[in-house]
Amino acid sequence: MKCPRCQSQAIVKNGSINSGKQKYACKDCGRQFVENPQNTNQPIPQTTVELIDKLLLERLSLAAIGRVTGVSASWLQRYVNKKYENNPTRSPCKKKSKRRLTLQCDEMWSFVQNKKNKQWIWIALDIETREIIGAYVGKRDEAAAQKLWKSLPPVYRQCAVSYTDFWQSYQSVFPSKRHHAVGKQTGLTNLVERLNCPLRQRISLLVREMLSFSKKLENHIGAIWHFIHHDNESLDLG
């Protein structure tokens, strides 16, 4: 094999392209190339794209997903960036009539880039349907609690009784007549607290002591909403 630029035979393997085809590099001039390049611009099969969407929920890093599916790291990163950018940040929940509704709310610690950049995941869960009704990612302050409140569908803001921990931001934002701050021993927030486990088990960016932590806030938020959409859609709501 010769380099197409300088005709050198000092050729080494240099990864692969998005179709999985072997890529080479010339040690003399630095040219990167593939054999028979006319057949390399094949689109990623839809079955592979669907598999990637599932693997994003299986605690795998992007590098691992690339190895499993055979797509290039650059293509995969572009795909994930676009997918997370286009993810709706509204909970896909079943329409409810005005009646007594009950929510459990909690916050979960996470970070982006480094542990000094804390990003709290605020979650509101309907205890009857187990749907994630509202969510927000940001600081752990009153403004963030207000964002969580605004993320709730109107019927919940009008009718729902909310159970939370004693974090003071809830008391400043949630209507006092329908808000109850309770301790863990009551069990009245156990469902939403239990949700922390699948969140950390299914989203690789949230797994503790892992190298696949978020480097971009947008992707951090997108990964969380990808889980929320999948989790709500998988519920049997009748």
DSSP assignment string, 151-169: HS-HHHHHHEEEEE-S-HH
Mean predicted confidence (pLDDT) in 135-153: 96
Who wins on pLDDT, 220 or 235?
A: 220
User: What's the pLDDT band for 74 if we cut at 50, 70, 90?
Assistant: confident
* Per-chain mean pLDDT for the chain: 89
226, 57 Cβ separation under 8 angstroms: yes
67, 212 Cβ separation under 8 angstroms: no
Distance, in Å, from the CA atom of 187 to the CA atom of 193, rounded to the nearest integer, reads: 10
Mean predicted confidence (pLDDT) in 139-165: 96
Mean predicted confidence (pLDDT) in 221-226: 94
Query: Looking at the predicted structure, is the pLDDT value of residue 212 above 80?
Result: no
Mean predicted confidence (pLDDT) in 23-44: 80
User: What's the pLDDT band for 209 if we cut at 50, 70, 90?
Assistant: low
pLDDT winner (highest mean) among 37-41, 183-187, 208-212: 183-187
User: What's the pLDDT band for 128 if we cut at 50, 70, 90?
Assistant: very high
Mean predicted confidence (pLDDT) in 101-113: 94
Phi, psi of 169 (to 5 degrees): -60, -35
What SS3 class is residue 67?
helix
Query: Looking at the predicted structure, is the pLDDT value of residue 41 above 80?
Result: no
User: What's the pLDDT band for 95 if we cut at 50, 70, 90?
Assistant: confident
| Residue 54: per-residue pLDDT | 94
H-run or E-run covering 115: strand 114-118
Distance, in Å, from the CA atom of 16 to the CA atom of 5, rounded to the nearest integer, reads: 19
pTM: 0.78
Query: Looking at the predicted structure, is the pLDDT value of residue 21 above 90?
Result: no
Give every CB contact of residue 21 below 8 A, 6+ residues apart in sequence. 34, 35, 39, 40
